[in-house]
Structure 1
Amino acid sequence: MSEFLTIRLSNRSDAAVPWLVWSPQQKEVIASGTLGSITQLDELKEYAPQRQIIVLVDAAAMVLTSVTLPPGSGRQIGQVLPFLLEEELAQDIDSLHIQLLAKRGDQGDVAIVEHTLMASWIAALQDAGLTAKKFVPDCLCLPKREEAFSAAELDGQWLVRTEEHHGAALDSEWLPLWLHEDNVVAHFTPKPANAVGEWKAETPELVMQLLTLGAIDSGVNLLSGAYRQTPSWKKHLKPWRKVAVVVGLWLAVVAGDFGLSIYRSEQLASQYQAESERIFRSLFPSVNRIPTQSWMRRQMESELSRLTGEDSGEGILPWLAELEPSFKKVPQFSLTSLRFDHNRSELRLQGEANDFAPFEQMRVLLSEQYEVEQGQLNRRDEKVQGMLTLRRKS
């Protein structure tokens, strides 16, 4: 088995780039270090020859989630996945690389990352003369624990693995909001001061070494579809023209089979559409025309919410409607993300502004309706960032 060069890349161009060379034969680290940014990747070129390159992708740059798979999707799952996730994603699905990591019965574990990020990482590696064999989410390289989360700190971020194909990369201040008191966490680096839950210390290890071992054994690889790497043997086809002709004929057969698969996939999609319209018309006999599939889904979801009582005001939409006047009064406060916890009945607003004053204005305004807890405010790149947690008053 050859040696491995492992590189961790972030979605921020100015982020540090930790790296490590591991020898399975000697079971030791040959070399390691940290680059100032991704622009210095060419400094690793001397470590690349005769070594397999694995890229650990910052989990903060992607979404790791699960989706219910329709029965009979089978070999067409690659074409079906984007449409299953279309309603849940705020971005155009055509701008996203969606990778099925594993299937568990009718559930599929999925990784989602922007095409622009994938392209920029690959371009940076190519500019440095490097070719990666694997792209693996860094949190999924932590050891898996059956009855506990796994966690380790790397460059100011906490990597947390919750399940086989689920996890996250979080700034330290987000840990208390992301974890719960009943969580058990096996940690490989010193426990944080703001730890929530039951933390159990594991044998301390060099984090990049720990992640490298997990990446080598992992079956996850984001280099699929348009990003699948060309095998090195294809570079040597040209001198073997007769063999290339045979291979070409074989590829033609494969292409025909692929075309047939697409045709069958389209037929299956048409059958699903016809059946869904039949069910819809049986429930809404007064509707004469169905303009689009998304319109039909919205009507079904609206009716389901009405029948199940979800329109009673316990969801996130009533909160957003109530918050709109406050956002209009403080336009200097920009909302960057939000998270609604139904069980706790609380809404967490992550925002930024040019200074601290808009946060105080928002806190005072929102305190008229809610119990407001303001998190730590941080200044970064001439912006002040922070979080407000809202709960309904008793």
Structure 2
Amino acid sequence: MQRLILRFGCDLESSVQWLVYSEPAQEIIASGELANAMELSSLKERADSADVIALVPSSEILLTCVNLPPNANRKVISAIPFMLEEDVCGDINQHFVALGQRIGDEQQVAVVSKEKLKMWQHALSDAGIFCQTIVPDVLALPSKEDAVSLVQFGRQLVARFDLTHGLEGEIDWLLELIKEKTVSEDLAIECFSEIDGLSADSHGSIRFDYTDLPLLLMLKNIDAKTLNLCQGPYSIKRAGNPHWQKWRLAAALGAIALTVNLVSTSIELNQIKSQRAEFALQINNSIAQGFPNIGQFRQARLAVQNEMKRLEQAGGGLSMLAILSQLSDAFANSGVTPQTLRYDATRTELRMQSVANNFESLERFRRDIQALGFEVDQGAINNQGDQVVGVVIVKG
């Protein structure tokens, strides 16, 4: 299974980073960056055969936790938006509250503008990309108990502080804030990409891990527990056809097609019979050409099997099949194709009329055979259109 991960910017004009990863092969298939979200349609072909995950900037989302009473019921949970009303700029009714993990009495929530969420979903659907998972980018970074996780995209810095919190923003101001936080809370900084203005000697405790590309690291860190904004009224389902009339029309058309097919089948049966007779004649001619000494036969498969056994058991040192087996690399490397084969078991001699693209291919074929220890005689060589036909005699 392939997975496609892409990361939006704050608006549709911002660049979009993307990466395709094959889980069975454990390797990156492709990656790149789009100039803006309007170019997402260029990823449709890749998205059709992949599980798509979209990352969105956490600077557009309020990530927080709400303390719930023990055994909180649905009514309490449905009241969460009103608990956060003072923490949200603007009308809470214009925002969507997505629920994440619940750890003890702590409920992880993400508050996002409905307009922003619709914007990202519409950008994907307009490009023909089916995506059921949209994740705040900071939650795709590893959560470290003793460190702040960092990656950088352009001039944007993504930082995760713990299991439920993080920040995303311009590196010019956010990096200084992180330095102060880590010093005051005695935390390390773990960098999963190069961070401008941050080096081993610029901070008290800093670690670097460039094992994976940032997007691949984030893709691997997303699981079923990661907060997904596509929930409730914003959950995405594969498009179906709810209109029974359309299905009835399709069924009627199928019935008509079946009737026409049944009528035409009787006509085609006669054609098939004549074609089978023609194919049988072609098979017999091919067998006679490939095995000139096979004689008369009634069952083609059995006759060929018996002739193959006879050739394998032929005397004179090497059998025809043994010689052909050793010549397989020479055929492949030179591009030479045998047209007819004649084998003299008593002399251990294989005569081939061969076709090649040019004289050089035939000559290379001859040299490769000689390098295997065979004696080679070159017969007449002729041009046939844009190909060269020559006789090659191989002696064991």
TM bracket, shorter-chain basis:
0.5 to 0.7
Alignment RMSD: 2.3
Q: Are residues 1:209 and 2:208 paired?
A: no
Cα displacement (A) at 1:205:
2.4
Counterparts in 2 of 1:76-115, with a 5 A limit?
76-115=75-114
Q: What are the superposed Cα offsets for residues 215-273 of structure 1, whole Å, 9 maximum, x if unpaired? A: 256532110111111256x558959x9xxxxxxxxxxxxxxxxxxxxxxxxxxxxxxxx
> Structure 2: 5+ residue runs without aligned partners?
248-396
- Distance in structure 2 (CA, Å) of the matches to 1:3 and 1:237: 32
CA deviation vs aligned residue, 1:323-368 (integer Å, no higher than 9, x gap): xxxxxxxxxxxxxxxxxxxxxxxxxxxxxxxxxxxxxxxxxxxxxx
Find the aligned partners of 1:10 and 1:159 in 2 and give their Cα distance. Answer: 12
Contact 1:183 1:197 in 2 (8 A): no
Paired with 2:89 and 2:59, the residues of 1 have a C-alpha distance of 17
Q: Which residue of 2 aligns with 1:12?
A: 11
Q: Is the 8 A contact 1:55 1:135 kept in 2?
A: yes
- The residue type paired with residue 137 of structure 2 is D
Counterparts of 1:133 and 1:77 in 2: how far apart (Å)? 27
Aligned residue number for residue 177 of structure 1:
177
1:68–1:107 Cα contact (<8 Å) kept = yes
Distance 1:61 1:25 in 2: 34
For 1:227, the aligned partner's letter is Y
Structural mapping, 1:331-350, within 5 Å: none
Residue 186 (structure 1) aligns with: 190
**Structure 1: 5+ residue runs without aligned partners?**
242-394
Please give the alpha-carbon distance, in whole angstroms, between the structure 2 residues aligned to 1:95 and 1:197: 43
Q: Does 1:25 align with 2:36?
A: no
Asked if structure 1 preserves the Cα contact closer than 8 Å seen for 2:101 and 2:226, the reply is no
TM-score (norm 1): 0.56
Amino acid at match of 1:211: M
Per-residue deviation at 1:183?
A: 2.6
Q: How many correspondences in the alignment? A: 239
- Cα pair 2:139 2:226 within 8 Å, conserved: no
Counterpart among 210, 219, 222 of residue 229 in structure 2 = 222
DSSP 3-state at the match of 2:107: strand
DSSP 3-state at the match of 2:111: strand
TM-score (norm 2): 0.56
Distance 2:209 2:225 in 1: 21
Change beyond 3 A, Cα 1:135–1:8: same
2:55 partner letter: L
Deviations 1:264-308 (A, max 9, x none): xxxxxxxxxxxxxxxxxxxxxxxxxxxxxxxxxxxxxxxxxxxxx
CA spacing shift, 1:49–1:90, aligned 2, 3 Å: closer
Q: Please give the per-residue CA displacement for 1:106-136, whole angstroms capped at 9, x wherever unaligned.
A: 2211111100001111111111111102011
Residues 89/209 of structure 1: CA separation in 2 closer, same or farther (3 Å cut): same
Q: CA deviation at 1:77?
A: 4.2
Residues 183 and 105 of structure 1: is their aligned pair in 2 closer, same or farther, counting only changes over 3 Å?
same
